[in-house]
Amino acid sequence: MNGWENFFLGELGASATLTGLIFVGVSVNLKTITTRVTLTNRALEALVALIVVLFICSLLLIPGQTMFATGIEVLLIGLINWMIVSFLQLNSLRKMQPQYRLQFVPYIVLSQSATLSFVSAGVVLLILGTGGLYWIVAATLLSFFAAFTDAWILLIEINR
């Protein structure tokens, strides 16, 4: 994993900072967020997306790990991430008024792409080795974009 340390350090710092932004967004609009299940789920999804990046980047900075161990770590965290996000999204869809469900689909596609990219990264790391690191780049960027979308909803759109 020679040469990847700076990327993982940068993403680690970015994910920690963005996690703070989500906490600020939730704190500022806590009363409104807690009255709607879909908003609490969005807040939790954003936190999960960023914490997954934080965990994976932290684990990948551990020196001397084998590619097999790295692949297992990424795969397990990716699967847990996918299960949590899928549960939250299904819960939101069930409680959402039918006329709003179609508007939620692009966000589902975005966040599912992020979660499944981490799963793919773990599989590729196990099968092909370092090539899976590029999947982590894609998964990280998709996770950030999904979290930014949630932050926008929690900070700006919620007040419209």
pLDDT digits (tens, 9 = 90+) for 18-66: 898 888 878 888 888 888 878 888 899 999 999 999 999 999 999 999 9
Q: Where are the alpha helices (DSSP H) in 61-131?
A: 67-95, 98-128
Whose structure tokens read 């397990």? 76
Q: What is the pTM of this model?
A: 0.89
DSSP-derived 3-state class of residue 115: helix
HEC readout, 9-28: HHHHHHHHHHHHHHHHHHHH
Distance CA(17)–CA(150), nearest Å, equals 15
pLDDT at residue number 116 = 97
Residue boundaries of the structural domains of the chain:
5-159
DSSP, res 159? G
Question: pLDDT tens across 56-94, in order?
Answer: 999 999 999 999 999 999 999 999 999 999 999 999 999
